[in-house]
Amino acid sequence: DDDDGLLTMADITEKLQLAPRSTVVLSACETGLGAIQAEGVVGLSRSLLSSGAGATVVSLWVVADGATKHLMGQLYRNLTDTEEGAGGVSVAKGLQRAMVTCLGKRGRLEPQPAP
């Protein structure tokens, strides 16, 4: 195995078999960027969708580690919140709620104390 530790579009399309309608979260910096080609933006997100993911959550910019940790934790809590019914809320609604929870007084995503 030639595992170099890098995840490529070829690795995703050739080796991954994602469960239908699964959500894949890539919470590192600029994971939503890709090459612009005639077919549109080609990158990890598009490869994941082609491999069966129902949704992807990616970043188009540099993100701070602390704020990202808090945002992702809140997102996962929202997605699994049983008060919302089986399976929690949609990915879009869960992310929206996580962002609102994390918004600081200056209008930026900053870690907030847990309630």
- The model's pLDDT over 11-59, given as tens digits with 9 standing for 90+, comes to 888 888 888 778 888 888 888 887 777 656 678 888 888 888 888 888 8
Tens-place pLDDT, residues 72-99:
888 888 888 766 555 568 888 888 888 8
- Given this model, what pLDDT does residue 84 score? 57
Phi, psi for residue 25 in degrees, rounded to 5: -110, 120
- How confident is residue 113, by pLDDT bands cut at 50, 70 and 90? low
CA dist 36 to 7, 58, 71, 72, 95, Å? 19, 17, 28, 28, 26
Going by pLDDT thresholds of 50, 70 and 90, the confidence category of residue 67 is: confident
Residue 28 CA, distance from chain mean position: 9
Asked if residue 50 lies in contact with residue 37, where contact means CB atoms within 8 angstroms, the answer is no
For helices 91-102 and 65-80, angle between their N-to-C axes, nearest 10 degrees = 130
The token duo for 14 is: 């050739």
